[in-house]
Amino acid sequence: MEALEMEDMAPRALLIEVTKAIRTILRGGQEYRIGTRSLRRADLKMLRDLRRDLQDELAEDGGDLLGNTKAAVFDRR
């Protein structure tokens, strides 16, 4: 994904892409070679830091801080 595309993305959409990138690294490794060609993916620590920052940003904006919360009332009758 190009830098310009990332700048135009909403934090939630960017969080999804960062999470996908982290999964790709965890499944396929940070770097690999085939013959004389090599591929190095984004730095895992940088992606994790970015994910944490995006999660914090979404929580501050009223994102999913309590989105998964359920409430129950237990009456003692």
12-60: pLDDT as tens digits: 999 999 999 999 999 988 888 999 999 888 899 999 999 999 999 888 8
d(CA 30, CA 54): 22
> How many H-runs (helices) and E-runs (strands) does the chain carry?
3, 2
Handedness of CA 72, 75, 76, 77 (dihedral sign): negative
- pTM for this structure? 0.64
**8 Å CB contact between 18 and 52:** no
d(CA 43, CA 36): 22
